[in-house]
């Protein structure tokens, strides 16, 4: 068990051996990984020290105070928040050693090839096929809404390997090389004007069996690791008090006294309190995540995050009146990072609409909370024991 003093000593040694001002950014991040200070709750040798997750804040604060570079999580959120915990939980030793370091350092961007035109909320209905061919799998199908596919080097992918099995049991989980000639990425433009996400066509894509995560046919269980982490990663990011969306509207409120009314003041304070409660609930959730395996409670965090982001960004547009209706720029871009609170009030308002869809819609998360947190009876399902190929589509 690593304690605070030991962590601080290690962090200071890293800074002394690799002074941030004189060290190349990538070299510094690699050295940080090798010192076990990347994600302290990860195993020794894989960027961590087997320490309690809550101690990461101690390292981060010390490094930030010394002006050390970070790994720019907004560019590699899918890798950090979803691919890494899945690789850690289900990958072989070779897979962990190959992928985790460049992922954390940010040298290799990851994306998530899960959703399909016919499989979103009902993800287990997916139709992309993977067929075994010698030491490889050959993948054909179409994915959609794939954030960062245009910058990604690797993807986490789920595909159907047994159409005769019921839908949840015939799926296998892979790491897919986005530079394979069979991968075609086309931009999809969003309500914001940007194309953060894409549709991805997979034609004869070859994946070595060594890049399978978990057993053949067990991909649905492996995907649960990804999905539970995704919800925490979207809804439970660590933010300072009055950070995130509430910080934006509070700043406008302070800077523009002429816009204030009593009614807006009351609503702002309501949202401020809700945002602070959500932030503190996130802190508590993170402290519970000792082993890095979040449960369905993360779905409640993500629900609250989406509801608050939409309400608060709406209030900001209202506060700004006519000005709030202006939209800075609607030029088509393919951004390198996902930014929920960037640009202007109009962007924030429009981007927040996706918060109740991405990572599981709010309706689906309500179902998860009802069934798996509150223990209420599940929705009736008649497709659990039927072969996937016999289901109506």
Ligand X SMILES: Cc1cc2nc3c(=O)[nH]c(=O)nc-3n(C[C@H](O)[C@H](O)[C@H](O)COP(=O)(O)OP(=O)(O)OC[C@H]3O[C@@H](n4cnc5c(N)ncnc54)[C@H](O)[C@@H]3O)c2cc1C
Give me the residues that bind ligand X (CB under 6 A), please: 111-112, 114-115, 120-121, 145-147, 197, 354, 357-358, 360-361, 363-364, 367
DSSP-derived letter for residue 44 is B
Rounded to whole angstroms, the Cα distance separating 23 from 16 reads 11
Nearer to ligand X, 73 or 120 (CB): 120
Nearer to ligand X, 96 or 143 (CB): 143
Contact 161, 169 (CB under 8 A): no
Establish whether 94 is a catalytic residue.
Answer: no
Contact 137, 126 (CB under 8 A): no
Nearer to ligand X, 93 or 379 (CB): 379
Q: Return the structure tokens found at 307.
A: 């509801």
CA-based nearest residue to 150, from 185, 191, 106: 185
DSSP per position, 140-183: EEEE-S-TTTTT-SEEEEEEES-TTSBTTTSEEEEEEETTSTTE
Shortest CB 38 distance to ligand X, Å? 23
Mind spelling out the 3-state secondary structure of 280-336?
A: HHHHHHHHHCCCCCCCCHHHHHHHHHHHHHHHHHHHHHHHCHHHHHCCCCCCCCCCC
Shortest CB 90 distance to ligand X, Å? 18
Shortest CB 346 distance to ligand X, Å? 17
Question: 154-160 and 136-143 as β-strands: parallel, antiparallel, unpaired?
Answer: unpaired
Rounded to whole angstroms, the Cα distance separating 115 from 147 reads 11
Shortest CB 354 distance to ligand X, Å? 4
Nearer to ligand X, 121 or 287 (CB): 121
Task: Give the CB-side neighbour count of residue 190, counting CA atoms within 13 A.
Answer: 26
Nearer to ligand X, 78 or 88 (CB): 78
**Inter-axis angle of helices 244-255 and 297-319, nearest 10:** 20
Nearer to ligand X, 128 or 252 (CB): 128
Residue facing ligand X at closest CB distance: 120
Catalytic residue among 199, 230, 297, 316: 230
Shortest CB 134 distance to ligand X, Å? 28
Residues 6+ apart with CB under 8 A from 90: 173, 213, 214, 222, 225
- The 10 Å Cβ neighbour count of residue 311 is 16
Rounded to whole angstroms, the Cα distance separating 159 from 47 reads 30
Shortest CB 214 distance to ligand X, Å? 18
Active site residues: 230
């Amino acid at each position: 068990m690593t304690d605070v003093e030991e962590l601080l000593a290690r962090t200071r040694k890293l800074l002394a051996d690799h002074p941030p001002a004189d060290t190349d950014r990538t070299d510094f991040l690699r050295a940080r990984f090798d010192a076990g200070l990347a994600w302290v709750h990860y195993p020794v040798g894989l960027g961590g020290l087997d320490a309690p997750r809550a101690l990461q804040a101690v390292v981060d604060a010390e490094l930030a105070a010394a002006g050390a570079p970070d790994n720019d999580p907004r560019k590699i959120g899918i890798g950090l928040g979803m691919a890494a915990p899945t690789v850690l939980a289900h990958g072989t030793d070779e897979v962990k050693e190959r992928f985790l370091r460049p992922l954390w350092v940010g040298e290799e961007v990851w994306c998530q090839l899960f959703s399909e035109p016919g499989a979103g909320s009902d993800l287990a209905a997916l139709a992309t096929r993977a067929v075994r061919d010698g030491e490889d799998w050959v993948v054909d199908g179409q994915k959609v809404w794939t954030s960062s596919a245009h910058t990604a080097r690797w993807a986490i992918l789920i595909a159907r390997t047994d159409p005769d099995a019921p839908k949840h049991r015939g799926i296998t989980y892979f790491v897919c090389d986005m530079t394979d000639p069979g991968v075609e990425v086309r931009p999809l433009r969003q309500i914001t004007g940007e194309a953060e996400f894409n549709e991805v066509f997979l034609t004869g894509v070859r994946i070595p069996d060594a890049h399978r995560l978990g057993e053949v046919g067990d991909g649905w269980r492996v995907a649960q690791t990804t999905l539970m982490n995704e919800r925490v990663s979207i809804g439970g990011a660590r933010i300072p008090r009055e950070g995130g969306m509430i910080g934006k509207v509070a700043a406008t409120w302070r800077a523009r006294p002429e816009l204030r009314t009593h009614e807006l003041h009351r609503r702002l304070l309501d949202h401020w309190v809700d945002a602070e409660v959500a932030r503190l609930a996130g802190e508590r959730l993170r402290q519970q995540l000792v082993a890095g395996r979040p449960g369905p409670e993360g779905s409640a965090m993500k629900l609250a995050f989406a509801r608050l982001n939409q309400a608060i960004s709406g209030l900001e547009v209202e506060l700004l009146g006519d000005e709030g209706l202006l939209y800075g720029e609607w030029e088509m871009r393919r951004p390198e990072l996902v930014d929920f609170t960037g640009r202007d009030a109009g962007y924030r308002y429009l981007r927040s609409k996706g918060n109740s869809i991405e990572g599981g819609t709010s309706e689906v998360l309500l179902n998860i909370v009802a069934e798996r947190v509150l223990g209420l009876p599940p929705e009736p399902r008649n497709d659990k024991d039927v072969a996937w190929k016999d289901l109506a589509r």
